Chain A
Amino acid sequence: AQKVTQAQTEISVVEKEDVTLDCVYETRDTTYYLFWYKQPPSGELVFLIRRNSFDEQNEISGRYSWNFQKSTSSFNFTITASQVVDSAVYFCALSEANPSEDYKLSFGAGTTVTVRA
Chain B
Amino acid sequence: DGGITQSPKYLFRKEGQNVTLSCEQNLNHDAMYWYRQDPGQGLRLIYYSQIVNDFQKGDIAEGYSVSREKKESFPLTVTSAQKNPTAFYLCASSIPYGLAGDARESYEQYFGPGTRLTVT
CB contacts (< 8 Å) of A45 on chain B: these are 43, 90, 92, 111
Stretch with Cβ within 8 A of A (4 or more), from B17-25, B61-69, B71-79, B99-107? B99-107
Cβ proximity bits A11-48 to B, threshold 8 Å, 1 near / 0 not: 00000000000000000000111010100001111110
Minimal Cβ-Cβ distance residue in A for B116: A43
Cβ proximity bits B77-120 to A, threshold 8 Å, 1 near / 0 not: 00000000000101010001110000011111111111010000
Whether the pair B45, A104 counts as a contact (CB closer than 8 A) is yes
A55 at the interface (CB under 8 A from B): no
- How many chain A residues touch B (CB < 8 A): the figure is 25
B56 at the interface (CB under 8 A from A): yes
Cβ contact of A104, chosen from B42, B48, B88, B111, cutoff 8 A: B48
Whether the pair A107, B108 counts as a contact (CB closer than 8 A) is no
What's the Cα separation between A110 and B106 when bound, in Å?
21
CB contacts (< 8 Å) of B56 on chain A: these are 102
Whether the pair B109, A102 counts as a contact (CB closer than 8 A) is no
CB contacts (< 8 Å) of B108 on chain A: these are 35, 47, 50
Residues of chain B having any CB pair with chain A under 8 Å: 40-43, 45, 48, 50, 56, 58, 88, 90, 92, 96-98, 104-114, 116
